[in-house]
Amino acid sequence: MSHSHGQPHHHHTFAPSGQGTVMLDIGGGIGAMIIYTPAAMHGHEIEVSPVGDTGARTHAAVRARYVSAGVTFCVVIDGLPEGRYVVWQDDDTPLTQVEVRGGAVAEVTWPANLVAGRRPVSV
């Protein structure tokens, strides 16, 4: 779902996911983060990094996801070692910090009036 800097860049798919199709790598000391965004951010990348190591960023693209209440737009980043993470507004500006706990999913809501500074991912 996500990949770290320094890894080969894989093309993201922006096709909507079906209800119940997201599997997460969590458990023990590993957690995940979901960042809910406005629809206008579809295709934009959002980065997160551990608070103490802001150069070790992981990112994923905003996708449409079908849920029982309709469609939501979000980023899902799994496989995160538990700890405190920075959610980046753009390459240089932190948006917020979030605590990720092992075996759990942390949730963040992106401000409705803010579009990420990172350009949309090309397919």
Mean model confidence pLDDT for the chain: 82
Per the CB < 8 A criterion, the answer to whether 65 and 73 are in contact is: yes
Q: Which amino acid is at 28?
A: G
Percent of the chain with pLDDT strictly greater than 90: 60
Instruction: Return the structure tokens found at 93.
Output: 């500006």
Query: What average pLDDT score do residues 36-53 get?
Result: 94
Split at pLDDT 50, 70, 90, the class of 15 is: low
The tens digit of pLDDT for each residue in 82-121 reads 999 999 999 899 999 999 999 999 999 999 888 765 555 5
pTM value is: 0.79
Judged on CB neighbours under 10 Å (0-12, 13-18, 19+), 77 is: buried
Q: What integer pLDDT is reported at residue 119 of this predicted model?
A: 55
